[in-house]
Amino acid sequence: MAENKLLSLIVPVYNEEHVLSMFMKRVAEVLKTIPDIQAEYIFINDGSTDRTLENLIALKATYPQIKIIDFSRNFGKEAALTAGLQHAKGDITIPIDVDLQDPPELIAEMVVKWREGFDVVLAHRSNRDSDSFLKRFSAKWFYKLHNKISSPPMPDNVGDYRLMSRQVVDALNSLPESTRFMKGLFAWVGFKSTQIEYVREERAAGESKFNGWKLWNFALEGLTSFGTVPLRIWTYVGILVAGISFILTLKILIQVLFMGIDVPGYASLMVAVTFLGGLQLIGIGTLGEYLGRTYMESKNRPVFIIREIL
């Protein structure tokens, strides 16, 4: 008889009181169909202000495999994923959102691929019609830009929903940084991987906690976490602008000294000053993004604080 393997499901939650019971019922039905697999459910309550914690405690009476990690405040999804990975004891681990946009039925397919010898099984979104046009457009260009300037590349249209072997989870837990962009870290550790296709569903209940501003900051985090190309670009911008300025200087000198042409200065001077000032501010801002991350890492603060484990 085959030995049962333990599957750890990592489920970050923030104000998701309305969908918890639906999620547990659907996932439990899926796991019943997978042979030789036992499951633990690691819910990370990321500072919810509604009845999420109370509902989780009530569900634990029905599903004793539930473990609840209650944060002292909202630390964000990346911190919640980190906590889940650190507390996962399974032979395999799957992070999954509680809103049921990522169908739990894929878990069975992921386990089959893992048994074929893959350490990582990615869930690739073949269709994003459930997302808004702006979100689809920004996601497409984020992946294109990130993979041009950062290393290693991230698979496009792949979220946190994936299966990882124990070896992969141990590798992720060994990484020391406190400012964590998990999609990049998932790609960075490598290992033998494959992917399965799926169509993302609508949210079962509630609303997305990611607004445009949070997504923008999340994108900046990703673009500056795995490469220094944004910094290097400004070296070449400086060389280009200096070269153009030198050519224009020669042109003006020739016009004034040899051709007697008067060069009116106010408008052209203002354009040049404001243009160069704008470039300098953008360059300083890019430096600031990297310096800020270095500053936060130097504090060596914990990624999260746990109030209680239930």
- Asked if 103 contacts 147 with a C-beta cutoff of 8 angstroms, the reply is no
Q: How many residues does the chain have?
A: 310
* Of residues 52 and 265, more confidently modeled: 52
Mean pLDDT across 141-170: 79
d(CA 4, CA 120): 20
d(CA 233, CA 242): 14
Burial class for 221, CB neighbours closer than 10 Å (0-12, 13-18, 19+): middle
E strand intervals along the chain: 5-13, 37-45, 66-71, 92-95, 120-127, 158-165, 193-199, 306-309
Question: What is the band of 206 on the pLDDT scale with cuts at 50, 70, 90?
Answer: low
**Placement of tokens 């020739």 in the chain:** 254
The strand pairing partners of 42, in sequence order, are 10, 67
- Asked if 290 contacts 231 with a C-beta cutoff of 8 angstroms, the reply is yes
Per DSSP, the three-state class of 160 is strand
The strand pairing partners of 158, in sequence order, are 124
Sheet order of strands, 306-309 included: 193-199, 120-127, 158-165, 92-95, 5-13, 37-45, 66-71, 306-309
What residue segments make up the domains of the chain, in order of their start?
5-227, 229-299
Question: What is the band of 210 on the pLDDT scale with cuts at 50, 70, 90?
Answer: low
Residues 6+ away with beta carbon under 8 Å from 213 = none
| 152-166, 200-214, 293-307: range with lowest mean pLDDT | 200-214
CATH class of 5-227: alpha beta
- Asked if 231 contacts 238 with a C-beta cutoff of 8 angstroms, the reply is no
- Supply 134's token pair: 């702006």
Tell me what pLDDT residue 128 has.
62
Give yes or no for residue 282 having a pLDDT over 90: no
- Asked if 95 contacts 10 with a C-beta cutoff of 8 angstroms, the reply is yes
**pTM reported for the whole predicted model:** 0.73
Give yes or no for residue 302 having a pLDDT over 70: yes
- Supply 23's token pair: 């999620």
